[in-house]
Structure 1
Amino acid sequence: MRGAGPFDPTRPNIARVWDYWLGGKDNYAVDRELAEKLLAIHPASAQMARENRAFLQRAVRYVAARGVGQFIDVGAGLPTALNTHDVAQDVNPDARVAYVDNDPVVIAHGRSLLARSPGVVVVPGDVRDPRSILSDAALTEHVDLAEPTCVILSAILHFSEAATARDIASVFIEAMSPGSYLIISVGSGAPREGNRFASAYTAARIHIHSRDELSTFFGDLDLVPPGVAAVRCWRGDDPADVRAPRSATFLCGVGRKR
């Protein structure tokens, strides 16, 4: 999840830290202070956030190009450039997107900015309770789970232990119809580096998931090549872009339900 509880500008907020890293303006001094503290521990963090965002855009474009016209973006965070609906509707103008978050700041911004767009709805919901998300009236009026749907869990499951993250993903997988897709990305890295980062990330507790753990989150879905990979290496329909590996990155994958 990207934050919880009522709005409090005196406490760092996960969504606003990410907004700062992505070059946004919806953040406060306390968010920037934490963001810079984390950059001092791991200078590549902001770049990793941007690379994760670029992966999400490639993955959404890939799925939309396969004829999927419904997206549920869970833990969507604050609106930024090229949101999920921007990318999906560039491929299919009739694509529908439900943005879900449990942060009141995100919901307020989403409803004032994103919900003006056709085919978009903003729904309050907590990833830790996926069944409530899937049964929300606003979501079920907007998204027909009997039709192929793409569920997005981008940079959110590392706020849960591996077993919990696996259970969350399994609920969404069970609800999806054949031909649906699941997009996941999580933070990963060397244990020592990851532990230092997790200790400093006071806005929420982070769990560093391994490549093997992330693979299990997809259950029996068919993974789109190259399978579980660093976000920089998952290209979808884009040309290959080979880059040197780093010790910490976001790992990702895209799975399709048979």
Structure 2
Amino acid sequence: MAGVPDWVPSQIDWNQPSVARIYDYALGGAHNFEADRRAQDAALEVFPYLSDAARANRAFLHRAVRFCLDQGVRQFLDLGSGVPTVGNVHEVAQDIDPEARVVYVDHDPVAVTHARSMLADDPRTAFLHEDIRAPHRILEHPGTTRLLDFEQPTAVLMVGMLHYVNDASDPQRLLSDYRARMAPGSYLVTSHLTSDLPEMRAAAPFFDDSRNPMTLRSRDEIEALLEDFDLVEPGVVFTVEWNAEGPPDEHPERSACYAAVGRCR
């Protein structure tokens, strides 16, 4: 197709916004289309800090990965990892321990194509083209079983993902399915856009035409989803507040996402 970059997979509808590509755009990446940019820009009209929130979410991911490494975790399952950009999980983890292993999962074709090219020469990583709502396929996938030993502590990352799992898909059951395979001493790392902010409630409808519309949840609802985990201090807080580095943020609510890390008993 004329005008389409050569990295665009032939099977995608590039006129429909994609969560992975919108996030890529918010982080300053180049693997996104006009439809993705329109959705993000329209949402910014009602919530001007949404791109800042995306960067705060990414920074939380980095801090949480380093925290898990400090606890002795050396293997990571990154669910809904998105389009690879600077500071991917394996880069953060392997900077501390070169033997750390990471399995990435996403169902966006652009994320899959770009990631597989990027990770081709790293035997300690794998990228699965799967939907996070299919835990058994993911957990039993040869790419997963080659790298991850679920008898040992594992960090399962659902950063900025659960708000794309609607109530009909039963996020509580989904978490339980993953939790059932996590050894004691494993960690769940998660962040979730919140319905507690009127600006976020106003911005969410601009993503309704994407492949994964949002289901915003309150802080209480997010805490309830995590009831099977022992929450690490400071519990469920805005992303910029979780193990913050530097002075306190004057407007933590602008990060729009609650974050938490839970430990398996």
* TM-score of the pair, normalised by structure 2: 0.89
Paired residue type of 2:256: T
Q: Let me know the Cα RMSD of the aligned residues.
A: 1.9
Task: Name the residue aligned to 1:168.
Answer: 174
Residues 106 and 131 in structure 2, CA contact (< 8 A), matched pair in contact too: yes
Give a deviation string over 1:110-155, Cα, whole Å, max 9, x none: 1001333341111121111212211112111111111110000011
Matched, 1:254 2:261: yes
More off after superposition, 188-197 vs 225-234: 188-197
Paired residue type of 1:241: P
Mapped partners of 1:118, 1:69: distance in 2 = 15
Mapped partners of 1:132, 1:211: distance in 2 = 30
Task: Name the residue aligned to 2:184.
Answer: 178
Mapped partners of 1:33, 1:161: distance in 2 = 23
- 2:88 pairs with one of 83, 91, 94: 83
Mapped partners of 2:34, 2:24: distance in 1 = 12
Secondary structure of the corresponding residue to residue 137 of structure 2 = helix
Matched, 1:138 2:143: yes
Task: Name the residue aligned to 1:94.
Answer: 99
Residues 96 and 120 in structure 1, CA contact (< 8 A), matched pair in contact too: yes
Residues 150 and 182 in structure 2, CA contact (< 8 A), matched pair in contact too: yes
Structure 1 segment 54-203 matched on structure 2, within 5 A: 54-162=59-167, 164-190=170-196, 192-201=198-207, 202-203=209-210
Residues 60 and 242 in structure 2, CA contact (< 8 A), matched pair in contact too: yes
Mapped partners of 1:255, 1:239: distance in 2 = 23
Task: Name the residue aligned to 1:244.
Answer: 251
Paired residue type of 1:251: Y
More off after superposition, 121-130 vs 43-52: 121-130
Mapped partners of 2:227, 2:50: distance in 1 = 29
Residues 155 and 187 in structure 1, CA contact (< 8 A), matched pair in contact too: yes
Alignment gaps of 5+ in structure 1: none
Mapped partners of 2:255, 2:23: distance in 1 = 17
Matched, 1:231 2:239: yes
Secondary structure of the corresponding residue to residue 83 of structure 2 = coil
Mapped partners of 2:20, 2:121: distance in 1 = 21
> Equivalent pairs: percent with the same residue?
38
Paired residue type of 2:204: A
Mapped partners of 2:254, 2:73: distance in 1 = 34
- 1:214 pairs with one of 215, 218, 222: 222
Residues 54 and 255 in structure 2, CA contact (< 8 A), matched pair in contact too: no
Paired residue type of 2:61: L
Cα shift at 1:78: 0.3
- 1:47 pairs with one of 49, 52, 55: 52
More off after superposition, 158-167 vs 21-30: 158-167
* TM-score of the pair, normalised by structure 1: 0.92
Q: How many residues align?
A: 253
Residues 195 and 201 in structure 2, CA contact (< 8 A), matched pair in contact too: no
Summarize the Cα distance change of 1:6–1:158 in structure 2 as closer, same or farther, 3 Å threshold. farther
Mapped partners of 1:149, 1:257: distance in 2 = 10
Secondary structure of the corresponding residue to residue 15 of structure 2 = coil
Secondary structure of the corresponding residue to residue 196 of structure 1 = helix
Cα shift at 1:102: 1.2
Secondary structure of the corresponding residue to residue 76 of structure 2 = strand
Secondary structure of the corresponding residue to residue 90 of structure 1 = helix
More off after superposition, 131-140 vs 187-196: 187-196
